[in-house]
């Protein structure tokens, strides 16, 4: 429905390091139609009202994960959240929680990128394979084992929702653990033994306090809380098996 005559107030938490010592709120009056997303509202602000506003976006289709932000204190994708759902109230938009702010709604992602790199998010084959040997074959059933966890788009909403990550940024976190689990379940991969030390580590899965909000806010229904819980079980099993299994037999 195209109403054409409604306006909504978007309050943006601004931070411009060259002039602000701390984030400050700034309000904008934005005309909108019922099919407009929060992202489109921000684009209207940047194009028509204030070209200095900074935020990340790319696909506008909930695929790239770039436009994650706090919308009325809830981690959401701005492209997937509609202004009509907040009208006639003011909608408050802030940078994702638990991350340093680079500028306005843009966060510093370095910590997550280091965590992502640490879990080796790629297939590690058992042995080198020449192209002439053909592709690694996989059945639909084998793919189904990890397909849910492969849907992660690195939007970081789960990290913004995770109270433990907010308290301790050394915690590996739900997103990285979901992707670690994805590769460990892939029958083409032989890197599980290299990844499990991260699971067992002091800042690994047992840092999770089982709130489960990470899975609630996930836009792709990955269920990172389930990945963490499964790996808690595996980690505990590995620990106790050390006492009953000959050294080198348990992997």
User: Taking the alpha carbons of 220, 112, 39, 88 in that order, is the dihedral positive or negative?
Assistant: positive
What pLDDT, on a 0 to 100 scale, did the predictor assign at position 235? Answer: 87
- pTM metric for this prediction: 0.90
What is the tens place of the pLDDT at every residue in 201-230? 999 999 999 999 999 999 999 999 999 999
What is the tens place of the pLDDT at every residue in 186-208? 999 999 999 999 999 999 999 99
Q: Domains (ranges, CATH) in the chain?
A: 6-107 (3.10.20.30), 110-241 (1.10.1060.10)
What's the whole-number average pLDDT of the chain?
93
Only one residue has tokens 């109270």, namely: 163
What pLDDT, on a 0 to 100 scale, did the predictor assign at position 237? Answer: 76
Q: Is 3's pLDDT higher than 80?
A: no
Give 77's strand partners. 68
Alpha-carbon gap, residue 150 to 138, rounded angstroms: 15
Alpha-carbon gap, residue 223 to 227, rounded angstroms: 7
């Amino acid at each position: 429905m195209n109403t054409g005559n409604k306006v909504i107030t978007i309050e943006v938490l601004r931070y411009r390091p060259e002039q602000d010592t701390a984030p400050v709120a700034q309000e904008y009056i934005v005309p909108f139609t019922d099919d407009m997303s929060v992202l489109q509202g921000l684009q209207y602000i940047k194009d028509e009202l204030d070209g200095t506003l900074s935020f990340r976006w790319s696909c506008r289709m909930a695929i790239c994960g770039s436009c994650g932000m706090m919308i009325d204190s809830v981690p959401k994708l701005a492209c997937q959240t509609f202004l009509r759902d907040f009208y006639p109230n003011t909608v408050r938009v802030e940078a994702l929680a638990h991350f340093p702010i680079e500028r306005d709604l843009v966060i510093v992602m370095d910590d997550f990128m280091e965590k992502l790199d640490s879990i080796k998010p790629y297939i590690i084959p058992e042995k080198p394979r020449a192209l002439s040997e053909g592709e690694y074959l996989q059945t639909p059933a084998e793919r189904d084992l990890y397909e849910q966890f492969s849907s992660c788009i690195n939007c970081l909403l789960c990290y913004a929702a995770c109270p433990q990550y907010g308290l301790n940024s050394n915690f590996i976190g739900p997103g990285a653990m979901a992707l670690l689990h994805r590769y460990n379940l892939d029958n083409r991969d032989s890197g599980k033994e290299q990844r499990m030390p991260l699971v067992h580590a002091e800042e690994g899965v047992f840092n999770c306090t089982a709130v489960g909000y990470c899975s609630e806010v996930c836009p792709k229904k990955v269920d990172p809380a389930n990945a963490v819980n499964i790996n808690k079980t595996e980690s505990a099993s590995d620990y106790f098996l050390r006492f009953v299994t000959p050294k080198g037999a348990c992997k």
